[in-house]
Amino acid sequence: MEWLQDAERRTGTELHAWLEAKRGGWSHLVACKQRTDVFSAIQEAATFARRHNARPILHIEAHGNEDGLEGPNIDGELEFITWDEITPYLRELNFSTNCNLILVCAACKGIASMLSASSGDRIPCLAVIGPDSNVNPTPLLNAMKELYRAWMNGLLDLDAPSREMAPASLEIESMALLSYESFMEYVIRATRPGPRAETAEKLAKVLERMGKPYDQSLSQVNGQISLLPRRMQRAWQRLFMMDLDSENRERFGFDVKAAIWKILRFRQLA
């Protein structure tokens, strides 16, 4: 998917032509003329994935920063899409792939951290691949060719991505790893010594951050805290769609309950 002004349309078009020459039909280029085209393209990919049981790679060519993506509108002026705005569409596509979506974003670095911190009870993608720093179009195009060449030759295991696997100037971020770190960080911060009712309220916000409803009544604080490990285990299972496919349990299984209980006992809250 390419969301750039006409004068800038080069890297995505060249990459698409290169991929077609390597393996015909492997790449489908969508040139977006406005922000709504971006959303429509992702929704069309989700429909395709559902109908054909496919696991597409979503590649985005656009300008971007830590806040979101930027591209032209129908009048040629620039408009913006925040990460919060695009995340629900990514989540729909990832759901359609049964938690197998790889997002390649040539726009900016650090997108994985923003997506892992997004609210919602389903992860928006399995992994994010993008530049590790500001990079010029030609080196970026060469790095992308190297990435897809390795991909087509079966040299990348993106079920468990790591930074070391990426070609030069690119980094691969695992959403499972980032989500695990976020889970633990949220709980550790929320259980720092303080009034018990205040701690329960902080823990309630942890689950709300993940889109999981939580009893806001603090009249039974002890019960609220004791339910946290089980509820967070369920939240983790939904996050990585373990309720949809048993294979996801093997890929993303993690004993959240045991980890949370250890933290609560260390804090003398359980």
Q: Is the pLDDT higher at 221 or at 126?
A: 126
Q: List the domain range (segments joined by +) for residue 234.
A: 191-266
Residue 182 lies in a domain: no
Same domain, 164 and 214: no
Q: Report how many domains make up the chain.
A: 2
For residues 99 and 55, the answer to whether their CB atoms sit within 8 Å is no
- Residues 152-209: tens digit of each pLDDT: 887 776 554 444 445 557 888 888 888 888 888 888 888 888 777 777 777 777 766 6
Same domain, 250 and 202: yes
**In this predicted structure, what is the pLDDT of residue 244?**
86
Report, as an integer, the average pLDDT of 38-47: 97
Give percent above pLDDT 70 in the chain. Answer: 84
Same domain, 144 and 195: no
For residues 270 and 226, the answer to whether their CB atoms sit within 8 Å is yes
Range with the poorest average pLDDT among 13-22, 108-117, 144-153, 241-250: 108-117
Residue 136 lies in a domain: yes
Report, as an integer, the average pLDDT of 62-80: 88
**In this predicted structure, what is the pLDDT of residue 20?**
92
For residues 13 and 6, the answer to whether their CB atoms sit within 8 Å is no
Residue 180 lies in a domain: no
Same domain, 147 and 209: no
Boundary-marking domain end, from 142, 174, 206? 174
Q: Is the pLDDT higher at 33 or at 192?
A: 33
Same domain, 166 and 206: no
Boundary-marking domain end, from 174, 206, 224? 174
Beta strands in the chain (DSSP E): 2-3, 57-65, 68-72, 78-82, 102-105, 127-131, 170-174
Residue 184 lies in a domain: no
Same domain, 196 and 150: no
Give percent above pLDDT 90 in the chain. Answer: 30
**In this predicted structure, what is the pLDDT of residue 218?**
45
Residue 186 lies in a domain: no
**In this predicted structure, what is the pLDDT of residue 92?**
96
pTM of the model: 0.85
**In this predicted structure, what is the pLDDT of residue 163?**
47
Report, as an integer, the average pLDDT of 29-33: 93
Band of the pLDDT at 237, cuts 50, 70, 90? very high
Q: Residue 33 burial (CB < 10 Å; 0-12/13-18/19+)? A: middle
Residue 131 lies in a domain: yes
Residue 8 confidence (pLDDT) above 50: yes
Boundary-marking domain end, from 126, 141, 174? 174
For residues 229 and 269, the answer to whether their CB atoms sit within 8 Å is no
Q: How far apart are CA 89 and CA 262, in angstroms?
A: 36
Residue 217 confidence (pLDDT) above 80: no
Q: How far apart are CA 118 and CA 175, in angstroms?
A: 11
**In this predicted structure, what is the pLDDT of residue 81?**
93
Same domain, 130 and 200: no
